[in-house]
């Protein structure tokens, strides 16, 4: 399936039905009175967060979505039926914004979450609504209200606890295949990953976290170079970033330190908040470095890169060092989850339900 993380759609809720002007016509009852019913409301348009979807490709080829209008009111006190609603299934993590102004309107963050994105118009009043002691034969009615019409932009940001970033061919896909159930395409050439891959890493019973493999970045990615710039948004919701570095590049003229600094620079240019996220350094492909040279090469890299944060040495191919890294990641993610669930301290002034003036 082709991965699409951005789409534009037009949605139109149904118009309300018109009210009806009608009077009772029965034998021997000359003045039967008004009995015109109200029109039915127009159908709403809903968005449903479906955990079984992972792309917006369906909306790339189907842009117009309309709900049915409400039926008109009828005589004999009959109201019009409401128009049928329309429910659009979208992946969890979809952001719905106004295509013209860019204003974010809704976010689908929880599986099964339902949000009304276009409200149907209310039905008009029939003449029975206008009956009174001084107006016993009203001939007034009102038309139905129009339904909402919107031009929307859909943007998908994958929901993952951990995001992988690094240069093409740094070994990110090999790492996610080694520690999770994801099976991304792996090859010995750059830009093998063409769209984000999600993998669930199971640490133990009911202990897991989600890793997102993002296409490799190159210098100038924040301005649109390469493939990764299209998917940097998917890192914005992660709790932790793993900066994967190829410590043993095939080309001897390639400097891993320069590549790592370029990635950090692109991250800062793209989004300062993304740059400030917790970030760990993962030095990969140690299986290609002689055992007696590993310690010196790692120390030299950390010194030249001027890195004081956590450093992990692994070989994603042989899975050496992956288990300690996975355990550390889970402890970090679990601690952040617990912090978010901690009870909020209530100001004593409002503990008894008082409100601030």
Predicted confidence at residue 216, as pLDDT, reads 54
Secondary structure class of 186 (helix, strand, coil): coil
Q: Is the dihedral of CA 186, 321, 278, 157 positive or negative?
A: positive
Contact 265/255 with Cβ under 8 angstroms? no
| Distance in angstroms (rounded) separating the CA atoms of residues 288 and 274 | 31
User: Which residue reads 């790592």 in tokens?
Assistant: 260
DSSP conformation class of 274: H
Contact 57/3 with Cβ under 8 angstroms? yes
Which strand (E) or helix (H) includes residue 273? helix 272-275
DSSP conformation class of 140: -
341: left (phi over 0), alpha (psi -120 to 50) or beta: alpha
Phi, psi of 177 (to 5 degrees): -70, -30
* CATH number belonging to domain 162-340: 3.40.50.300
| Distance in angstroms (rounded) separating the CA atoms of residues 319 and 316 | 5
Contact 158/95 with Cβ under 8 angstroms? no
Q: Is the dihedral of CA 264, 239, 278, 304 positive or negative?
A: negative
Q: Tell the CATH superfamily of the 1-156 domain.
A: GTP1/OBG domain (2.70.210.12)
Phi, psi of 80 (to 5 degrees): -75, 150
Contact 92/108 with Cβ under 8 angstroms? yes
Predicted confidence at residue 265, as pLDDT, reads 82
Which strand (E) or helix (H) includes residue 214? none
Contact 166/217 with Cβ under 8 angstroms? yes
- The low-confidence residues of the chain, meaning pLDDT below 50, are 1-2, 185, 187-193, 221-222, 224-228, 342, 344, 346-347, 349-351, 353-357
User: Which residue reads 């601030």 in tokens?
Assistant: 356
Predicted confidence at residue 314, as pLDDT, reads 86
91: left (phi over 0), alpha (psi -120 to 50) or beta: beta
| Distance in angstroms (rounded) separating the CA atoms of residues 65 and 165 | 37
In the chain, where the domains are located: 1-156, 162-340
Q: Give the number of other Cβ atoms within 10 Å of residue 17's Cβ.
A: 31
Predicted confidence at residue 67, as pLDDT, reads 94
| Distance in angstroms (rounded) separating the CA atoms of residues 278 and 149 | 41
| Distance in angstroms (rounded) separating the CA atoms of residues 324 and 336 | 19
Phi, psi of 275 (to 5 degrees): -65, -35
| Distance in angstroms (rounded) separating the CA atoms of residues 43 and 12 | 9
Q: Give the number of other Cβ atoms within 10 Å of residue 172's Cβ.
A: 31
Predicted confidence at residue 350, as pLDDT, reads 43
As to burial, measured by CB atoms within 10 angstroms (0-12 exposed, 13-18 middle, 19+ buried), residue 134 is exposed
What contacts 334, CB < 8 A, 6 or more positions away?
207
What contacts 186, CB < 8 A, 6 or more positions away?
173, 174, 177, 192
Residues β-bridged to residue 10: 64, 151
Predicted confidence at residue 353, as pLDDT, reads 45
Contact 297/289 with Cβ under 8 angstroms? yes
pTM for the model stands at 0.66
């Amino acid at each position: 399936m082709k991965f699409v993380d951005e789409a534009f759609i037009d949605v139109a809720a149904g118009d309300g039905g018109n009210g009806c002007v009608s009077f009772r016509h029965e034998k021997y009852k000359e003045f039967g009175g008004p009995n015109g019913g109200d029109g039915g409301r127009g159908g709403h348009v809903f968005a449903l967060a479906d955990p079984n979807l992972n792309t917006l490709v369906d909306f790339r080829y189907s842009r117009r979505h309309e709900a049915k209008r409400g039926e008109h009111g009828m005589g004999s006190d009959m109201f019009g039926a409401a128009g049928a609603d329309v429910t659009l299934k979208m992946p969890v993590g979809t952001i719905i914004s106004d295509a013209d102004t860019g204003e974010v309107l809704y976010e689908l963050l929880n599986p099964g979450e339902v949000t009304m994105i276009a409200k149907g118009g209310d039905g008009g009043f029939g003449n029975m609504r206008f009956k009174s002691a001084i107006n016993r034969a009203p001939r007034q009615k009102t038309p139905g209200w129009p339904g909402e019409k919107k031009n929307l932009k859909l943007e998908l940001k994958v929901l993952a606890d951990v995001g992988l970033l690094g240069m093409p061919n740094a070994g990110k896909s090999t790492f996610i295949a080694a520690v999770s159930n994801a099976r991304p395409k792996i090859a010995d050439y750059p830009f093998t990953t063409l769209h984000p891959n999600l993998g669930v890493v199971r640490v133990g019973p009911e202990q897991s976290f989600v890793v997102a493999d993002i296409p490799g970045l190159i210098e100038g990615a924040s301005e649109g170079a390469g493939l990764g710039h299209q998917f940097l948004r998917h890192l914005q919701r992660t709790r932790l970033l793993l900066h994967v570095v190829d410590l043993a590049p095939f080309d001897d003229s390639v400097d891993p330190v320069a590549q790592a600094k370029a990635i950090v620079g692109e991250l800062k240019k793209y989004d300062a908040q993304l740059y400030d996220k917790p970030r760990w350094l993962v030095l990969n492909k140690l299986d290609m470095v002689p055992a007696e040279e590993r310690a010196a090469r790692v120390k030299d890299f950390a010194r030249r890169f001027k890195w004081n944060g956590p450093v992990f040495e692994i070989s994603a191919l042989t899975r050496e060092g992956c288990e300690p890294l996975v355990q550390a990641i889970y402890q970090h993610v679990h601690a952040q989850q617990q912090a978010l669930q901690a009870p909020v301290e209530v100001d004593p002034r409002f503990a008894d339900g008082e409100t601030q003036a």
